[in-house]
Amino acid sequence: MEIHQLRYFVEVVRTSGFTRAAERCHVTQPTLSQQVRKLEEMLGEPLLQRRRDGVILTSFGKTFYERALAILAEVRAAQEEAAAFRGELKGSLHLGMIPTVAPYLTPRMLKDSLSRFPQITFRITEDTTDNLMQAMRKGTVDLSLLSLPLPGDEWVAAELMRDEILVALPKNHALGGKPRVNLQRLAGEPLVLMQEAHCLRGQSLSLCSQAGWQPEVFFYSSQIDTLLAMVEAGLGISFIPAMARPYMGRRQVKLRSLAKGGAFRTIALVRHRQSSPTRALQRFWDTCLATFAKD
């Protein structure tokens, strides 16, 4: 069994086919296909079902895929440890971030790490919580910046900060003059919210439910700035994370805390419990914790 055969196999699974996998591995498709065949022959079991519309894992392939990911992670960790002995810290990290966090925290998270570890390369993906959790299970994303809580006990999480959830009101709204707003007094107001897959939407609806009313959602978007534009136009109210406040520009919108102590979400770094943290990941993890501990 060769390491490059494992890499080829994993890339075929990630891309659901041989053509794109070969492109990403910088080899010809016949070469990649041949090496995957040799791997299957050595194991004595087929790993993939080959179809016209792509490939799917066999039962054994599903089990072996998880083992292959673990082996490759250990190889990568060993390579980074070897580099550390030469006085270097090298590696690559694929970070996942939910869209209601990424624009506001990414520069802060990366600034110290880029200056301290210039040999680490970063790739960032913005996606919903469910998609990022699935990517971490597959090993295609190393760690993510998410809003807690998460379902299940398969995650290692380190809390970075609490972010207040504010209600966004049109500038002439009757309750805009108050520093805090009782959510019950907004019952019946049309809402503009994040799309269904975004966790901020669920948190917003939960706040309304706790206040005893079922909101009428007028408009959905995947962008916070679009929600603010709709509120500015007087088309409804919304819920906005406090970390977005400095980036509002000249939006004519009033952001107010909720009564009774306000509402908050917890932002955390998250990785899969079964992943094998590389030295680069651990140093980045520790640097982020130190950066946010200064607050």
Q: Is the pLDDT of residue 122 over 60?
A: yes
Query: What pLDDT score was predicted for residue 85?
Result: 54
Secondary element (H or E) of residue 124: strand 120-126
CB 183 within 8 A of CB 176: no
CATH dotted code for 90-295: 3.40.190.290
Calculate mean pLDDT across residues 207-236: 90
3-82 topology per CATH: Arc Repressor Mutant, subunit A (1.10.10)
Query: What pLDDT score was predicted for residue 86?
Result: 58
- What pLDDT, in 10s, does the model give residues 44-75? 999 999 888 888 999 999 999 999 998 998 88
Cα–Cα distance between 110 and 94 in angstroms, integer?
A: 12
Using 50, 70 and 90 to split pLDDT, how confident is the model at 295? Answer: low
- What pLDDT, in 10s, does the model give residues 184-199? 999 988 999 998 888 9
To the nearest 10°, report the CA torsion of 46, 52, 57, 60. -20
CA distances from 106 to 39, 42, 221, 253 (A): 40, 44, 21, 25
Query: What pLDDT score was predicted for residue 216?
Result: 85
CB 270 within 8 A of CB 98: no
Q: Where are the domains of the chain?
A: 3-82, 90-295
CB 229 within 8 A of CB 148: no
Using 50, 70 and 90 to split pLDDT, how confident is the model at 278? Answer: confident
Query: Which residues face 264 on adjacent strands?
Result: 164
- What pLDDT, in 10s, does the model give residues 129-153? 999 999 999 889 999 999 999 999 9
Query: What pLDDT score was predicted for residue 114?
Result: 85
Query: 30: which 2 tokens?
Result: 């016949």
Task: Tell me the HSE value of 141 on the side-chain side, using a 13 A CA sphere.
Answer: 26
Calculate mean pLDDT across residues 239-258: 92
